[in-house]
Amino acid sequence: MSKEEILVVRKNGPLKGEVYISGAKNSALPILAASLLASEEVILDEVPKLKDIEVMVEILRSLNAKVEYITETSLRIDSSNVDKFETPFELMDKMRASFIVMGPLLAKFGHAVTKAPGGCNIGKRPIDLHLKGFEALGAQTTMNHEEISSKTKNGLTGNVIYLDFPSVGATENIMMAATMAEGETVIENAAKEPEIVDLASFLSKMGANIIGAGTSNIIIKGVEKLKGTRHTIVPDRIEAATYMLAAAITGGDILIKNVLGSHIRPVIAKLIEIGAKVEEIEDDDMIRVKASKKLKSTSIKTLPYPGFPTDVQSQFMALMTVCKGESSVVETVFENRFMHVDELKKMGAAIITEGNRAVIVGVDKLHGAEVKATDLRAGAALILAGLVADGETKISDIYHIDRGYSDLIEKFTKLGALIERKQVN
Ligand SMILES: CC(=O)N[C@H]1[C@@H](OP(=O)(O)OP(=O)(O)OC[C@H]2O[C@@H](n3ccc(=O)[nH]c3=O)[C@H](O)[C@@H]2O)O[C@H](CO)[C@@H](O)[C@@H]1O
Ligand SMILES: C=C(OP(=O)(O)O)C(=O)O
């Protein structure tokens, strides 16, 4: 019988100290894919050490890109020998962001063959907006069983593309496809996430002509060629928010380094509203979060950026389970992002859901239990709950957590948490 790894978390009082935030997973993944477009060497700094990044590196290598680690978090990528436009299906299954290589491959070869991506099971997550965008640029899509093929006869041509929803992935894929298209592309109702801005800034350093990233209208004027560059990945706002919530739930005092407050305004606002102290030290990209008393209830509603991030919803709900009074959460981005609710209830949380709304009544105490990381951020929520629960919290299916948190055990342990990985049968 093969051994499985679990996380064991035990209560150890308030977390205190400093934590350094890694580069953003959701920036590094599309930027790695975009490096396929460079005719020269690209160097990326602050690449987080994550399973998803390993998968993306494998995808690039399978296409014949040369990828080497200069340091643990810096990568050199040479795509000059990339000669394939077909991605290995077994890698596509491993994460959602695998589909993001489609845009660059289409731009480079006028043809990309792949399959629908895997990733966290937090909703239906179709790819229709990506494909509509490619088609508007002149590609034809065919689907045969699992295979998705997008192909253009005479190269891509710029167009105006209105997105029915400001999809992060579709905005990124279309933006990358359009960088070398003939003429001008306008993405209307584009996603405005900081990761979109980071990708656009990387592409611009490579010589792409992009304006408006970070607003609803992105204009891309096609260029002939993209060159090499060096780029530092923006800090991970979701990882930062998770440690801010760790300070809040344990009544601790954590200095979070390498974080941009402007990227997580809703989380800061909600923490202040419920009674935590949040100090932004902007010149040094630091935020200190302190909580000395029991925090109050509140309500959150997830929305595309700059609204409250869906990727912090589960972790914030974990905090609400021990706040004073009745809180509520409305999830509007994904249809199935309450899987952590049943797990938190096993730990004594009082939560009722109806459709996309959850009502959370704060309890005095949580207790340890055997729980499952049903998806990446659900796993993070269970760690937060485990930090204040009596007894042992045993979290299984932690491969989800490894997709998104760099040096998790080291970072939490340094803050005083009792958290360890264990092998079980
Ligand atoms: C690798 C990465 O960056 N992942 C992030 C990205 O995911 P991802 O790019 O998959 O998220 P999207 O913004 O595309 O999805 C948002 C909503 O749009 C829907 N949709 C999306 C595409 C499409 O073609 N059709 C469609 O209907 C989705 O089902 C979902 O309900 O943004 C999400 C929303 O901030 C985050 O939770 C993920 O962490
Ligand atoms: C949902 C997430 O990731 P992905 O889109 O890669 O599944 C996430 O980062 O919370």
pLDDT tens digits along 316-357: 999 999 999 999 999 999 999 999 999 999 999 999 999 999
| CB 32, CB 73: distance < 8 Å | no
Ligand 1 mean position, distance from CA 11 (Å): 34
CA-to-CA dists, residue 334 to 124, 321, 331, 337, 385, angstroms? 8, 21, 7, 6, 23
Annotated binding-site ranges for UDP-N-acetyl-alpha-D-glucosamine? 96, 125-129, 311, 333
pLDDT per residue as tens digits for the range 131-184: 999 999 999 999 888 889 999 998 999 999 999 999 999 999 999 999 999 999
pTM greater than the 0.90 cutoff: yes
Q: Please identify which of the residues 31, 120, 213, 256 carries the catalytic annotation.
A: 120
- Phi first, then psi, for residue 15 (nearest 5°) are -85, 135
Comparing 4-22+235-424 with 25-232, is the CATH topology the same?
Answer: yes
Residue 253: alpha-carbon gap to chain centroid: 25
The secondary element (H helix, E strand) that includes residue 422 is strand 418-424
Sequence-ordered list of residues with C-beta below 8 angstroms from that of 37, at least 6 positions apart, any chain: 79, 104, 107, 108, 176, 179, 180, 203, 206, 226
**C-beta of 222 in contact with ligand 2 (< 6 A):** no
State the first-to-last Cα distance of the chain, in angstroms, to the nearest integer: 7
Query: CATH topology for 4-22+235-424?
Result: UDP-n-acetylglucosamine1-carboxyvinyl-transferase; Chain (3.65.10)
Ligand 2 mean position, distance from CA 252 (Å): 27
- Domain limits, the chain: 4-22+235-424, 25-232
pLDDT per residue as tens digits for the range 204-254: 999 999 999 999 999 999 999 999 999 999 999 999 999 999 999 999 999
Residue 113 has pLDDT above 70, yes or no: yes
CATH of domain 25-232: 3.65.10.10
**C-beta of 236 in contact with ligand 2 (< 6 A):** no
Q: Is 120 known to be catalytic?
A: yes
